[in-house]
Amino acid sequence: MSRNRPLAKLLSYRNNLMLVKRCGHVVQFCGNSSLSGHSVHEFPKHTAVRRQWIRFVQTKRANFHPPHEKSQAVICGSHLTPDSFEGALMVELGYKTKKTLKLDAVPTINPEKPAETPKASGAKRSRSAACSGNDCQQC
């Protein structure tokens, strides 16, 4: 029986990972997810609003195909303005309440492309640049 315990633990771990909904699978340059504490929202069923959500994603990802209705594609709350939620005033006043997305809410905030960090060059430093004298222990 103890042999099955690691397998059960692995399966439990895998099942929990599958429940994480990531905005980055839909919105380019967004790394938010339900795991990182961000609210995530499924595409609306109302056709007109759904089309607006799809157009929002396609502004940065032209090849984005609309998710089917059973899809778990989500967009996080970071792409929505505070007035997209019901109960936003209650939160501002300090009340702990769950914000509910309005039925006509449309995402409008796109994340900026992250600045590219300069890559380290593969060139090796010369010995004189790496060592400051005869007492160098690296050479």
CA-CA distance, 13 to 39, in Å (whole number)? 22
Summarize pLDDT for 7-49 with one digit per residue, the tens: 444 445 545 545 678 898 899 889 999 888 899 999 999 999 9
- Model-wide pTM > 0.85: no
More confident residue, 4 or 99: 99
The DSSP letter of residue 24 is: G
User: How much is the mean pLDDT over the chain?
Assistant: 78
47 lies in some domain: yes
Count of structural domains, the chain: 1
Q: Evaluate whether residue 4 is within a structural domain.
A: no
114 in a structural domain: no
User: Does residue 52 lie in a domain region?
Assistant: yes
* 120 located within any domain: no
Closest to 69 in 3D by CA, of 54, 58, 56: 54
The three state secondary structure string of 98-126 is: CCEECCCCCCCCCCCCCCCCCCCCCCCCC
Q: Please give the residue range of the domain that contains residue 69.
A: 18-109
Site of tokens 């790394």: 31
Beta carbons within 8 Å of 30's beta carbon, 6+ residues apart: 23, 24, 76, 78, 79, 111
Residue 99 is assigned to a structural domain of this protein: yes
Query: Within a domain: residue 81?
Result: yes
